[in-house]
Structure 1
């Protein structure tokens, strides 16, 4: 029997293995199991001891915190993730949702000076206009005065096509005018505000530089309306709601897959198959494998994981797409020092030129200058957190958490002019870059890639059988395979549903052909 051909005696339903128990893997398995005519067997194989992947809710302090994803981006019914939360009673049914707006946090200089609201609003308006267009101003910045640069809007820079080249070239002209009209000190303050906003963009995109981001692809990212929303019950509740439809014996934890042999295999029934090899030495024959591993894991392991190697065009796309790091530092205080209405602060460092907007410091000695803010955690009253992206975010994984906690304490004392702020009682630091089964945080489209590379990554590996039918032997899901919603949980959710629908449709075509034959 040739590769891809299935024994059609009895059921033509598929045997499917889902690699990874993150939200994309769970949502795909849920959809396949609920459509039980499409699958004979669905198993989820997770390398670690828990479900969730880059979603990790855990109890900390007086409540819970999120080690990974924390927000539903888009509090509207058009967002399937928000709809899922409401469907299962995980969020409020009215419009009073706990939202977070970064621009609400005051910006402070390291001298302890507060930047006036109209001034920071003006710079936010300029910055987000350049990044996202005029529609972004009302959603990302406070109301304020100031005119954003008009000429050349969304022009692809001819040098390298990066977001950085475009934005920084426009800012140079804008800041030159500020210097001429309002003096060098105002220009320097503007630069400090913009540098802090750049660090926030590093977090938004999991990048080390805006020069890593492709301008054209940057525009392909789509947002749902409604702002950012934090689940009162934690993100784990979303996973649990999906897990209710998955039988317990279909989920296999602590079961790393070390090799996917996808050509020229035959199982014990003489049926062509994909053979999975597990770390414990066991093997499993299936018809289709759905790989939901992170792009970071695939970049690190594609040579050993797939036998034979994946098609060259898929590997090129995999390598060209970006996958960066954002780590969290979470500080718990037995006796919180802040007032009940205090939400946090954003930190401004001195900056003298546009060339310094991405930082000109030593990562080893001044990694803390990448800290853009320190804020309260929504659902744990005694916890503060900060996020650190890029090379600095990866570097802190090598440091003692106590050193990180002491450094942040020193910063808080300096920026708030309050020397009595205590050191935290507990310190948690995530290590997403060194996590062996994740290798980072989320994806971005680099200047080496295009949106078509996202589509190529999402394409299944097809194998022709003796009847000239193309079988989707290996399918791919995960946020990095979502053309318009990469880097998000809703992108991962939708990608899992997309691949489940692909297999349901394929199985239906098999049944129809079997009936005709």
Structure 2
């Protein structure tokens, strides 16, 4: 159809979804004189583009406080852009994970002993095989865990509802099967414990704690559980729906960081938009829309009228405007910065949209980067094998063995590359939330106390005194759970929800049965609206393109 008057399209949010939608609309129909058939504006509440992509320079190195990985390079639009602009080959500064994942990191048991490979390797292999089995079941490609037959894995997938229950029962079955094997193929418990030698760091060594084989195996398994919490963003895997977890997909190929930083992709997308397209520091207080589409949408705050709004705010922000709905897994129910919160919709969203938003999960994952001063000879590199605590809940004042409770589900503390003095740890769920509430000094103290409990005391190693250089001289950490423009990190599908809720979230408003004159008043994009790629930057990118294409099709444009 021809367009006599330019329709106005407002995109709320200048993160990956909003920028990809804007670029798709501009590039699809830009004429030779640079004009477009749309009046387009991107409304961003903060003073920067990127959303949950937040690159930074920290002690001369490129680090990421938000998105870190391209999850598979074959077919990834993020990788394609990064490669095209030279961001993958720009190695002018050291960058996070430039050496890949730290595969040689030792697993250390609480107390300071190295866990032997004869324990670590089978347990990690078991875990990865079982996770792979779930995510490939729809393709009938089930990878077998050592010692557990295929039909038993299939039974577990059928019988269990949550990822946590599936992995826990799988572990029990694995240990049961291992115990039945010929003892000549399985090291005896006494041999394993004898092999559990002290972790030596310089001139210090620490004796083996009182572990038995079964508790050590389960503790090593728990390291993978702790890692999975950071991958899924769920506070606990018992709340991750197993069937929906099996629908999640990644692109084939390597998983890579971006040497120049993830923000380089954001900057490229911003540079392609007409000057002045993005309104920064423009907070939308409320969206007023018309159920039958007969009147324009009004964005209260910047007071913009639009024919169509592509809404790309986080799932946490959508949850924040629904009465009685927690913004994320660990929401305390208190708005710490209520003045910056999104006020919601007028009229309210339809019930099926509200229900989908309420059921879907929005988790918290934070990163802590620490710079170890030159007074420390060797920076720590540890996978934490914690003892199981009787009370698994994280209380504010909980501390056992010198380790703060908020550290007890941390997977590792490792340098961001082989020659770096910057060490990173990832925290998820309640532990991440508690970390956010602490001062930098309390975080440093908790990290150093944890290292000491694992046989690594950099303060002594550096001969540090109060009037000398500190062991950790700088900290950079994210606080996504309490950030009022996000209220968390990324989405997952919990028990009680399903992939269908993701599709319900992605449905435009008004619904077809309610449309009168102008459909698609509000279109929904963002990582939480992609059924197979949710939680990733490429999900956000693809969702923005999807909604832009929906409008282009509506106007019969290419």
Q: Which band: TM-score by shorter chain?
A: 0.7 to 0.9
What is residue 539 of structure 2 aligned with on the other side?
Answer: 491
Given that 1:107 and 1:347 are in contact with CA atoms closer than 8 Å, whether structure 2 keeps it comes out as yes
Q: Note the 1:38-77 alignment, pairs <5 A.
A: 39-76=37-74
Cα distance change on mapping 1:338 and 1:375 into 2, 3 Å: farther
Instruction: Return the match for 2:346 from 282, 297, 307.
Output: 307
Matched, 1:408 2:408: no
What is residue 269 of structure 2 aligned with on the other side?
Answer: 242
Matched, 1:21 2:14: yes
Report the 3-state secondary structure (helix = DSSP H, G, I; strand = E; otherwise coil) of the residue aligned with 2:472. Answer: coil
Matched, 1:423 2:450: no
Given that 1:161 and 1:214 are in contact with CA atoms closer than 8 Å, whether structure 2 keeps it comes out as yes
Given that 2:148 and 2:173 are in contact with CA atoms closer than 8 Å, whether structure 1 keeps it comes out as no
Given that 2:505 and 2:529 are in contact with CA atoms closer than 8 Å, whether structure 1 keeps it comes out as yes
In the aligned structure 2, how far is the partner of 1:217 from the partner of 1:350?
31
Most deviating of 498-507 and 294-303: 294-303
Report the 3-state secondary structure (helix = DSSP H, G, I; strand = E; otherwise coil) of the residue aligned with 1:165. Answer: helix
Aligned-pair distance for 1:350? 1.7
Most deviating of 421-430 and 291-300: 421-430
Matched, 1:318 2:357: yes
Q: How many residues end up aligned between the 2 structures?
A: 479
In the aligned structure 2, how far is the partner of 1:429 from the partner of 1:456?
34
Q: Deviations over 1:184-227 (max 9, x none)?
A: 82211111101111111110011111111001000000012223
Cα distance change on mapping 1:108 and 1:502 into 2, 3 Å: same
Matched, 1:456 2:531: no
Matched, 1:227 2:227: no
In structure 1, the gaps of 5 or more residues are 1-7, 137-144, 512-517
Aligned-pair distance for 1:359? 4.0
What is residue 333 of structure 2 aligned with on the other side?
Answer: none
What is residue 283 of structure 1 aligned with on the other side?
Answer: 303
What is residue 110 of structure 1 aligned with on the other side?
Answer: 110
Report the 3-state secondary structure (helix = DSSP H, G, I; strand = E; otherwise coil) of the residue aligned with 2:114. Answer: coil
Matched, 1:272 2:272: no
Report the 3-state secondary structure (helix = DSSP H, G, I; strand = E; otherwise coil) of the residue aligned with 2:29. Answer: coil
Q: Note the 1:124-273 alignment, pairs <5 A.
A: 124-133=124-133, 146-148=146-148, 150-155=150-155, 161-178=161-178, 182-183=188-189, 185-263=212-290, 272-273=295-296
Aligned-pair distance for 1:435? 0.4
Matched, 1:350 2:373: no
Given that 1:101 and 1:228 are in contact with CA atoms closer than 8 Å, whether structure 2 keeps it comes out as no
What is residue 335 of structure 2 aligned with on the other side?
Answer: none
Aligned-pair distance for 1:99? 5.8
In the aligned structure 1, how far is the partner of 2:20 from the partner of 2:419?
28
Instruction: Return the match for 1:33 from 26, 32, 50.
Output: 26
In the aligned structure 2, how far is the partner of 1:101 from the partner of 1:147?
28
Q: Deviations over 1:18-63 (max 9, x none)?
A: 1011111111111111223674211111111111111111121122
Report the 3-state secondary structure (helix = DSSP H, G, I; strand = E; otherwise coil) of the residue aligned with 2:485. Answer: coil
Given that 1:465 and 1:471 are in contact with CA atoms closer than 8 Å, whether structure 2 keeps it comes out as no
In the aligned structure 2, how far is the partner of 1:231 from the partner of 1:477?
24
What is residue 204 of structure 2 aligned with on the other side?
Answer: none
In structure 2, the gaps of 5 or more residues are 31-35, 91-96, 137-144, 190-210, 324-342, 399-404, 463-469
Most deviating of 416-425 and 241-250: 416-425
What is residue 293 of structure 1 aligned with on the other side?
Answer: 313
In the aligned structure 2, how far is the partner of 1:156 from the partner of 1:122?
19
Given that 2:18 and 2:544 are in contact with CA atoms closer than 8 Å, whether structure 1 keeps it comes out as yes
Matched, 1:120 2:120: yes
In the aligned structure 2, how far is the partner of 1:465 from the partner of 1:314?
15
In the aligned structure 2, how far is the partner of 1:449 from the partner of 1:465?
25
Given that 1:62 and 1:380 are in contact with CA atoms closer than 8 Å, whether structure 2 keeps it comes out as no
In the aligned structure 2, how far is the partner of 1:338 from the partner of 1:16?
57
In the aligned structure 2, how far is the partner of 1:331 from the partner of 1:88?
30
Cα distance change on mapping 1:157 and 1:245 into 2, 3 Å: same
Report the 3-state secondary structure (helix = DSSP H, G, I; strand = E; otherwise coil) of the residue aligned with 2:521. Answer: strand
Cα distance change on mapping 1:437 and 1:264 into 2, 3 Å: same
Report the 3-state secondary structure (helix = DSSP H, G, I; strand = E; otherwise coil) of the residue aligned with 2:167. Answer: helix
TM-score, normalised to structure 1's length? Answer: 0.85
Cα distance change on mapping 1:451 and 1:404 into 2, 3 Å: same
What is residue 553 of structure 2 aligned with on the other side?
Answer: 505
What is residue 90 of structure 1 aligned with on the other side?
Answer: 87
Report the 3-state secondary structure (helix = DSSP H, G, I; strand = E; otherwise coil) of the residue aligned with 1:225. Answer: coil
Cα distance change on mapping 1:448 and 1:345 into 2, 3 Å: same
In the aligned structure 2, how far is the partner of 1:297 from the partner of 1:156?
36
In the aligned structure 2, how far is the partner of 1:257 from the partner of 1:379?
44
Most deviating of 124-133 and 439-448: 124-133
Aligned-pair distance for 1:456? 0.7
Given that 1:457 and 1:481 are in contact with CA atoms closer than 8 Å, whether structure 2 keeps it comes out as yes
Aligned-pair distance for 1:412? 2.3
Aligned-pair distance for 1:157? 6.3
Report the 3-state secondary structure (helix = DSSP H, G, I; strand = E; otherwise coil) of the residue aligned with 1:263. Answer: coil
In the aligned structure 2, how far is the partner of 1:466 from the partner of 1:202?
40
